[in-house]
């Protein structure tokens, strides 16, 4: 075994000791009623609205795989996309083989600054598709946002005919017209060793209403 393999295994052991949930397999019952990812992407890109994607904290959720899928699809359609990254967690060097020229990446600043950015770009008709990737923010930070601010943002989205997706931890954004729960059937080390296509194929997205009705 090489020194690099030993180092990788040591990192995995250290991460597992601190974040054991990242190594837990997702039960198959948790993905019943999952939507086809291609159909989900099509729906998000073709219809205006403010939507919410919820993922569990401290585990691999598949959020990055879906966001990268949206970047590829908006690029194919020559549609400008905004990726608001309040936690500054995207590594564009490893995420993209070539810089996506249709993508505006806004990084850092926390949730309140991210909402200001979302408001600004949605008022500009050059950016019809916006993702606010705040899944790593604390739920308490989302809950501190006044309800009237969400509804103002919702009205702005509809006036502009734009699409806004909020990527959140488990909180409820009342102004969102649709909500989904996101999970991935792989664990932490897989994201370093498996091909990206395999990772994306193992992502499941389920309507929050259907998930609640099934008691999952």
Query: What is the per-residue pLDDT across 5-32, written as a single tens digit (0 to 9) for each?
Result: 567 677 667 766 766 665 665 544 345 5
* Bridge partners, 84 (sequence order): 106, 132
- Which one is predicted more confidently, 145 or 213? 145
The structure tokens listed for 104 are 């505006």
Q: Which helix (H) or strand (E) holds 51?
A: strand 49-55
User: What letter does residue 55 receive in the DSSP assignment?
Assistant: E
The structure tokens listed for 109 are 């600043």
pTM: 0.81
CA–CA gap between residue 99 and residue 92 (Å, rounded)? 8
Over residues 41-53, mean pLDDT: 95
The structure tokens listed for 153 are 């943002």
Task: Name the fold adopted by 24-90+98-213.
Answer: Rossmann fold (3.40.50)
> Could you write out the DSSP letters of every residue in 85-151?
ETT----HHHH-SS--TTEEEEE-SHHHHHHHHHHHHHHSTT--EEEEE-TTS-HHHHHTS-HHHHH
Q: What is the pLDDT of residue 170?
A: 93
Over residues 114-123, mean pLDDT: 96
Q: Which helix (H) or strand (E) holds 203?
A: strand 203-207
Helix 147-160 with 110-123: angle, nearest 10 deg: 30
CA–CA gap between residue 95 and residue 12 (Å, rounded)? 21
Domain edges within the chain:
24-90+98-213
User: What letter does residue 186 receive in the DSSP assignment?
Assistant: S
Select from 13, 14, 6, 65 the least CA-distant residue to 191: 65
Confidence tier at 194 by pLDDT (50, 70, 90) = low
């Amino acid at each position: 075994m090489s020194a690099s393999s030993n180092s990788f295994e040591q990192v995995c052991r250290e991460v597992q000791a601190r974040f054991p949930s990242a190594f837990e397999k997702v039960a198959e019952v948790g993905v019943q009623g999952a939507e086809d990812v291609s159909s989900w992407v099509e729906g998000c890109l073709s219809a205006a609205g403010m939507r919410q994607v919820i993922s569990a904290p401290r585990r691999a959720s598949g959020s990055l795989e879906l966001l990268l899928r949206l970047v590829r699809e908006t690029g194919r359609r020559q549609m400008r996309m905004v990726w608001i990254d309040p936690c500054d967690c995207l590594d564009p060097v490893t995420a993209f083989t070539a810089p996506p020229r249709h993508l505006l990446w806004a990084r850092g600043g926390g949730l309140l600054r991210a909402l200001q950015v979302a408001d600004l770009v949605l008022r500009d008709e050059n950016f019809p598709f916006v993702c606010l990737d705040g899944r790593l923010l604390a739920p308490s930070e989302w809950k501190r946002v006044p309800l009237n601010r969400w509804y103002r943002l919702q009205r702005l989205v509809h006036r502009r005919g734009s699409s806004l997706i909020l990527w959140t931890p488990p909180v409820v954004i009342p102004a969102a017209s649709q909500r989904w729960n996101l999970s991935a059937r792989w664990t932490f080390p897989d994201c370093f060793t498996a091909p990206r296509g395999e990772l994306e194929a193992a992502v499941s997205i389920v309507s929050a209403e259907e998930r609640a009705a099934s008691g999952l």
